[in-house]
Amino acid sequence: MSMPDPQPVLNENQRRHFSVLLVSLDEALARIEQLSASDREAWGPLTRYAEDLPGRFSAEVHPLVEDLRARILHLSTLLGTAPRQMSRARSIRAMVTSATIRLEDSRARGLRGYGTVDASVREQLDPVLDDLIERFRAISRLATWEAAGPSAPNTP
């Protein structure tokens, strides 16, 4: 008969800290798996990763990742942390918000901190950035619909 693991006594703030930590570790493992895969479709056209992993990395990292996941899950159970429930819609809207803020900060008025801004930036680049902002916002609007249907507004 095995003895149960002793359970550390954590207050709610400490438990929340570990919940966030364990989720971030899990996300790091998912990213490691993603980077170890040779599937180039996972990356956009502006992101290129060098093929600099040893040939055996992908095969040998898998059992390590699985072991770490099992240990993280065990620790989560031991600490009484629950899996984080994530809203895909809220996550997409957050990514869109972040992207639009970066785009807005890249308009002519936001570039002044980098030096003198030529008038062509406001005239030629700002409209392109405004178009990108609106198209990102269209993605956010899509994520807010409970059921997209014929009455869904058109996107740009």
Q: Tell which of 79, 112, 134 closes a domain.
A: 79
Between 69 and 46, where is the model more confident? 69
> pTM for this one?
0.72
- 65-124 residue pLDDT tens: 999 999 999 999 999 998 888 899 999 999 999 999 999 999 999 999 999 999 999 999
Domain hosting residue 111, numbered range:
88-144
Q: Which residues contact 83 (CB under 8 A, 6 or more apart)?
A: 76
Q: Tell which of 79, 109, 136 closes a domain.
A: 79
Give the total number of structural domains in the chain: 2
CB 37 within 8 A of CB 58: yes
110 and 51 housed in the same domain: no
Residue 55 has pLDDT above 80, yes or no: yes
Asked if residue 138 belongs to a domain, the reply is yes
Tell me, what's the pLDDT at 28? 96
Asked if residue 154 belongs to a domain, the reply is no
Helices (H) and strands (E) in the chain, counts: 6, 0
What b/e sequence results for 102-114 when a residue is b if at least 16 CB atoms lie within 10 Å of its CB, and e otherwise? ebeebbbebbeee
